[in-house]
Every structure is written in C-alpha cells, then in structure tokens.
Amino acid sequence: MAGIQEEVAVKMIRYFGNDNRRINHALKVNCFAKIIAGLEEMAEDQLAVLEIASLLHDIGIKEAEKQYQSTAGHYQEILGPDVARDLLRGMDIPGSMLNRICYLIGHHHTYGEIDSLDFQVLVEADFLVNIFEDQMNHGQIAVIQEKYFKTKTGIELLTSMFIMNPAS
C-alpha cells in the first residue's frame, strides 16, 4: 500500500517531467536523508516532514528559471514553498506539518538558520549529492564539512565517500 511519501514522489516526478537530472537529484537527497535520519534516531514526526521536504526541496527551481532565468538557491527558496503547497493540496497532511515542510523548502540554502535535526539532515543530504554531482574538489569538501556537517552519520558518510577517497 502506497503511503504519502510515495504519492509525493510521483507528484514530484510528474512535475519535473523529463527533467531526469532533477528527479534523480531529489530521489538521491531523499535516500541520504532517510539514512542519516534513521541512524540519528530522528523522531517519527520529524522524519515524516523530512521525507517530503527532501523530495521537494528544489521544487522551486522550474519557476525560478521561468521568472528569473536563474537556478539560484535564493529564488528556489522564495518560489518553492508555494509550488510545494500546490503539489501537496488535497493530501492528508496536517497544517503544522505542511508549514514545516514549506519552511524547510524555503530555507534549505539558508544555512545560518538551521534550527533542528530535520533541517540539519536535509542540508547534509543535499550536500552529499551536490558534492558528487558538482564534482567538488577536496578543498571545497573540507570547507563544507567544517562549516555545515554536524551529525555523526552525515560526517561518517561524507568521510567515507569523499575524504578517505577524495573526489579529486
């Protein structure tokens, strides 16, 4: 039986259409987020929010390109929450949960505002995927680790994937 997360994943895939790069990015971030959250023993209510937010974290990017001819994170944060609300309309998601999902989408590039484990895990999962996709060098990875990684699991994954065997 499909759950809300699977329904959201399908809605995200339909929204992005044949933009396989963005679909795959969202699915990879979602997978890393669930791994980190599970090993960090995240509370169920936070996990439910994180699972949806990780699938939709970049959902504002199409509108950003359309309105601003840019994929900049700032524009994604501005436009993403409204797109997410539209996609999630009619689903059985409590208002407080929907508000938190939209908050995470609207702040996922605003690292100075990380206020809880769900936000921290979303940022770490997104970085794990971006480091690979953007082929970041060892110096960039070291800065990201120092500045943004806080969870034991996130640091362990980052180290295993990129530090012990640097990308470049």
Q: What is the domain count for the chain?
A: 1
Q: Would residue 118 count as lying in a domain?
A: yes
Q: Following DSSP, what letter does each residue of 95-136 receive, concatenated?
A: HHHHHHHHHHHTTTT-GGG--SHHHHHHHHHHHHHHHHHTT-
Tell me the mean pLDDT in the region 126-135.
97
Distance CA 134, CA 44 (A): 32
Average pLDDT over residues 78-85: 98
Provide the whole-model pTM.
0.94
Maximal CA-CA distance, the chain: 46
Is residue 168 a part of any domain in this protein? Answer: no
Q: Which of 94, 105, 110 is nearest to 50 (CA)?
A: 105
For the stretch 40-78, pLDDT in tens is: 999 999 999 999 999 999 999 999 999 999 999 999 999
Supply the CATH number for residue 125's domain: 1.10.3210.10
In a domain, 90, yes or no: yes
Per the structure, the complete domain to which residue 58 belongs is given by 4-163
Residue 42 lies in a domain: yes
In a domain, 25, yes or no: yes
Specify the residue for token string 């599970």. Answer: 38
